[in-house]
Amino acid sequence: MTPIRPLITFLAATFAATLAHADITIGVSIPLTGPTSALGIPSKNGIDLWPKTIAGEKLNVIILDDATDPTVGVKNARRFVTEDKVDVIIGSAATPIAIAMSDVAAEAQTVQLTLSPIELPEGKGGWSFRLPQSTAVMAIPIVEQWKRLGVKTFGYLGYSDAYGESWLKTITAQAEKAGIKSVAVERFARADTSVTGQALKIVAANPDAVLIGASGSGAAMPQKGLVERGYGKTKIYQTHGAASLDLIRVGGKDVEGSFVSSGPAVVAGLLPDSNPSKALGVKYVTEYEKAYGPHTANQFGAHAFDAYVVLSRIVPEALKKAKPGTKEFRAALKEALETTGRIPVSQGVLNYTPTDHFGFTPDTGVLLTIANGEWKLAPTK
């Protein structure tokens, strides 16, 4: 007869070994085609650079194209949780799609790391954690510069969707608090190819500054529309959704001298050594541009890079409690996200809590300007 104590020891060791050796599966839904592919493609590029293991376990990454369509994004998310039994959902890089996917994540009690700064109603989004900075955080450097320059009025030209409305709400509140008045608000659809009517109305209102709430290459079109109708390009500001070389490539001379709010990764090499994101930002840029060429790194690839940094912190904690592929492991990942504390990433410092799933500190954003086709830190005085 086998002694009881050795048998218990053997079973415990077998269970521990089982926990320690199981694929960790990540489902990624991003726009590789459609109007926001300029966000999804660099996100995929960043994910393709991930190591093949995490916390010593094999990493199984499934990437699907959501084609900039919320219906497809939801379909992808449902496949992830029902067929692939993923441990984490990542996506989308397009705000409306990420919002739609959040319901699936909540229903399946599976952590969603979003690649867009989605705003969700109170009581929603308990399983959704953002990798991009909130509009509230990224509006700070814009409004601070407006105050320094004596801006008294502003206009807004943005997407007629969740991303655009989120920025409109945020910039209006922060600007009004600073004594800066909104004098013109215009919207356009992501698929629009012209904003002639909207640009004419904003130019007629003659605001001291204009904020464009758009992303990727789609942010260049409204800026060109404003400049072509006589509005000064040095008075135009863009959101962090536009902090990519697509803005510079498509915008050309019409974006020179304008400003963009951004996370620190895009200009990591220009940051002081004391900045907690500098080392990770330089690592990201170096690896990305080695793989994809000079001047290709942008913030969308950085968010994907940061996803692995975050996972590398929380997966070891979750592995202590449960086996990948189980609801207990998914719950342990959520708990680790909410309790781990400060996680430096290339785009700032995250500190998720049960009540804050954005996590970034108020000093995260930097204001960039475009000079000779390159990003530069905007003057702060």
pLDDT tens digits, 206-260: 999 999 999 988 999 999 999 999 999 999 999 998 988 889 999 999 999 999 9
What digits encode the pLDDT tens for the residues 47-82? 999 999 999 999 999 999 999 999 999 999 999 999
pLDDT number for residue 21: 54
Average pLDDT rounded to a whole number, residues 277-295: 96
Query: What CA–CA distance (Å, rounded) separates 68 from 40?
Result: 9
Tell if the pTM clears 0.85, that is, is over it: no
C-alpha span between 3 and 151 (Å, rounded): 81
Reported as a pLDDT band with limits 50, 70 and 90, residue 16 is very low
List of domains in the chain: 4-133+290-350 (3.40.50.2300), 135-262+365-377 (3.40.50.2300)
Confidence of residue 363 (pLDDT cuts 50, 70, 90): confident
Contact 273, 257 (CB under 8 A): no
Mean pLDDT, residues 144-154 taken together: 97
Which two three-digit tokens encode residue 352?
């998720």
* Nearest-angstrom CA–CA distance, 202 and 184: 6
Peptide bond into 116 cis (omega under 30): no
* Res. 40 pLDDT band, cuts 50 70 90: very high
**171-199 per-position pLDDT tens digit:** 999 999 999 999 999 999 998 999 999 99
